[in-house]
Amino acid sequence: MDLHRKRQLAAFYSPANLAHFIARWSIRDQDDTILDPSMGDGVLLRAAAACLRQVGCSNPGPQLFGVDIDDAAVCEAKRQLQDHGLCDVRLTVSDFFDYQGPRDGVSVVLMNPPFTESHQFAGPTRDKAQKRARDQGTRLPGRSAAWAAFMTACTGCLRPAGRLAAILPSTLLSADYAEPVREHLLRRFEQVTVVVFDRRVFPEVEAEIVLLLAEGCQRVGHARFRVISFADATALPTGDQLLNDPFVAASSGPWMQYVLPRKLREAAAQAVSDPTVCRLGDLASVHIGAVTGSNDFFALSRSQAEALGLPRAVLRRAIVKALALRGNQFTDSDWTRLADSGQRVYLLDLADAESWRDTAQVEEYISSDAACRVSGGYKCSRRNPWYVVPGLKVPQALLPVMAGSHHRLILNRAQCVNTNSIHSVNFVDATHGRFLAATFPNTLTVLAAELRGRSYGGGVLKLEPGDAVSLPVGRPDAERVVVVDRLADAWDKEDRERGVAPHTIDRVLWQDMDPELLSALREAREWLLRRRLAREQSAMRTDVEAKCDSHLLQSGLSDRPARNSEFSGAWPPRAALSPQS
């Protein structure tokens, strides 16, 4: 299958080592029956067959059930299963949300569901998926990705006391739309374990992945819960070693917090409850920027616009790339600098047809060969007319979707529209904008972004609008607003020159916070930042990482020695990542 088709179906099949690990964990009896609701080439079913044979099953084929919407994948799975002596596996070509499964259910569900994002997971399939989730007592938000629907629906295929093992994106831990899934798992299972990795283990997938291991299906109550960290897939244990780690009582909110040692996790919870803290969503709205369908066509540099002869009436000042943003404000001079350097600084706005109807240059551009290619694209073909980009509104502030070290909130002084690489932010009270933008990169807010955001290849952190509105920020009381107003320009200059450090802002914003609490917040933020960035680095531990490891042990943040000989190269060390540490 070529890469385009793989992405279309989100068909990135499970690495064999992960497949065998989750099969070995979940299959415990020779009579176990196993379902894979999105089987791809059948790697999980082959791993399941091997485990069934190990526990005494001589003919595992009839105990295996596989479903996939792609008939070519089913044919390939059948061929590979036959090559392994499995000729009577129950394979079905079907949308899983139409599949009923064995009448009495199965003992085990193994799956690596499609990671398809919400904008691709639409139409009748989404409607069926939502209904299957409701049948299991869970309502999924409309923006939920495909994997979330698979997770809730497959619970209905399990027998009482059944087990579920899945390879999932790390958004399970942090995304706001995944909260109903997290609640569903804790409500429906006796024990829930999440395995996280310090380094990438799924080469073809940019997103960080986790393993979910849930057992005791159809229990009513609240599950025991734990998060366990390993360096990578080669460090995964065999036998029952994994089951020795302690459980904790999970609270509401993102599960990413359980990657932190207990002392740091409790510090974050204490800080958020402070009366000087509120949610960004209490003070502002956050929405995605304009989705053009083709920035190459709709985003233009000054020279391109002049060469095409397009009138100013159809050109809107724009920020197209988040990399153009520096400091806590984007000014007219910043926009002019980008324009002079040849950057794309305009978006084509043809919403007001009267402003260009008799303009030959516009008619020529939207009838060009390039326009014909663009008009057939996914987004443009669903618009009428295709060349009118919706949502071209000037926000009061800008929040980049992706960030390296930390996210920034930037005042939109230049009155630009923005593409969907940058979120649009509008304040409930415009007078609070300067305060919020200047103080946004403080330690508590950037720590919360680490807990809420999604890590991608290259170490970047992505925030969705729902993640952003949940972030804790400093409450803009009158006294602090006055102080910050005097310092905002200096912070802006510092950020542009060398990057403003969160602790610089902390000294003003959190001057009344307990110094030990603030120190713990900084430690937690550095812990998560290092973990995120280290995922793209060598497995070799650096001197700096080793010193940080030593510091954590000496400061009492971990009460067990790091098992470096067993998990060499892990950062942070597995022992220090235990939820009980």
Task: Read off the pLDDT of residues 137-171 as tens digits, 9 standing for 90 and up.
Answer: 899 888 788 899 999 999 999 999 999 999 999 88
User: Which residues have C-beta within 8 Å of that of residue 396, sequence separation ≥ 6?
Assistant: 411, 412, 425, 426, 427, 430, 433
Average pLDDT of 58-82?
94
How far is Cα 191 from Cα 179, in angstroms, rounded to an integer? 17
Residue 136 DSSP symbol: T
- Confidence at 458, pLDDT banded by 50, 70, 90: confident
For residue 150, the number of C-alpha atoms closer than 13 Å in the C-beta half-sphere is 29
Average pLDDT of 445-449?
96
User: Which residues have C-beta within 8 Å of that of residue 337, sequence separation ≥ 6?
Assistant: none
Q: What is the pLDDT of residue 576?
A: 31
Q: What is the pLDDT of residue 296?
A: 96
Give CATH for domain 3-258: 3.40.50.150
Distance between first and last Cα of the chain: 45
Residue with the bigger pLDDT between 537 and 418: it is 418
Average pLDDT of 224-239?
85
Residue with the bigger pLDDT between 13 and 95: it is 95
Taken in order 161, 164, 170, 175, is the CA torsion positive or negative? negative
User: With 80 as the cut, is the pLDDT of residue 563 above it?
Assistant: no
Residue with the bigger pLDDT between 380 and 199: it is 380
Average pLDDT of 500-506?
92
Amino acid at the residue 569: G
User: With 50 as the cut, is the pLDDT of residue 565 above it?
Assistant: no
Average pLDDT, the chain: 86
Question: Could you tell me what percent of the chain has a pLDDT over 70?
Answer: 86
How far is Cα 328 from Cα 505, in angstroms, rounded to an integer? 12
Q: What is the pLDDT of residue 17?
A: 87
Cβ proximity of 333 and 327 under 8 Å: no
Average pLDDT of 11-36?
88
List 64's β-bridge partners, or say none: 34
How far is Cα 70 from Cα 287, in angstroms, rounded to an integer? 35
User: With 90 as the cut, is the pLDDT of residue 126 above it?
Assistant: no
Question: pLDDT tens-digit profile of 382-393?
Answer: 999 999 999 899
Residue with the bigger pLDDT between 199 and 328: it is 328
Lowest-pLDDT range of 267-271, 326-330, 375-379, 539-543 = 539-543
- Confidence at 44, pLDDT banded by 50, 70, 90: very high
Q: What is the pLDDT of residue 204?
A: 61
Do β-strands 344-348 and 299-301 pair in parallel, antiparallel, or remain unpaired? antiparallel
Question: pLDDT tens-digit profile of 269-303?
Answer: 999 999 999 999 999 999 999 999 999 999 999 99
**Which residue do the tokens 């008799």 mark?**
358
Q: How far is CA 101 from the centre of its chain?
A: 31
User: Which residues have C-beta within 8 Å of that of residue 111, sequence separation ≥ 6?
Assistant: 36, 37, 38, 44, 150, 154, 164, 165, 166, 167
Q: What is the pLDDT of residue 545?
A: 39
Average pLDDT of 102-114?
94
Q: What is the pLDDT of residue 203?
A: 62
Q: What is the pLDDT of residue 548?
A: 41
Q: What is the pLDDT of residue 555?
A: 35
User: Which residues have C-beta within 8 Å of that of residue 481, sequence separation ≥ 6?
Assistant: 431, 432, 435
How far is Cα 164 from Cα 158, in angstroms, rounded to an integer? 8
SS3 248: strand
Q: What is the pLDDT of residue 579?
A: 37
Neighbouring C-beta atoms of residue 157, cutoff 10 Å: 22
pTM, entire model: 0.81
Residue 525's nearest CA partner among 484, 562, 472 is 472
User: With 50 as the cut, is the pLDDT of residue 557 above it?
Assistant: no
Lowest-pLDDT range of 206-210, 457-461, 535-539 = 535-539
Q: What is the pLDDT of residue 205?
A: 62
Cβ proximity of 124 and 96 under 8 Å: no
Q: What is the pLDDT of residue 558?
A: 36
Domain boundaries, the chain: 3-258, 284-509, 515-577
Average pLDDT of 532-545?
52
Residue 30 DSSP symbol: T
Residue 57's nearest CA partner among 80, 100, 88, 18 is 88
SS3 458: helix
- What length is written for the chain? 581
- Confidence at 1, pLDDT banded by 50, 70, 90: very low
User: With 60 as the cut, is the pLDDT of residue 311 above it?
Assistant: yes
Q: What single string gives the DSSP state of each residue in 402-441?
A: EESS----EEETT--EEBTTEEEEEESSGGGHHHHHHHTT
Lowest-pLDDT range of 198-207, 412-421, 462-471, 517-526 = 198-207
User: With 60 as the cut, is the pLDDT of residue 430 above it?
Assistant: yes
Q: What is the pLDDT of residue 235?
A: 87
Average pLDDT of 351-366?
90
C-alpha to C-alpha distances, 441 to 72, 464, 508, 514, nearest whole angstrom: 49, 17, 12, 19
How far is Cα 197 from Cα 492, in angstroms, rounded to an integer? 36
Residue with the bigger pLDDT between 520 and 17: it is 520
- Give φ, ψ of 317 to 5 degrees: -55, 135
Average pLDDT of 80-89?
92
Q: What is the pLDDT of residue 241?
A: 58
Q: Inter-axis angle of helices 502-509 and 478-497, to 10 degrees?
A: 170
How far is Cα 348 from Cα 314, in angstroms, rounded to an integer? 6
Cβ proximity of 124 and 100 under 8 Å: no
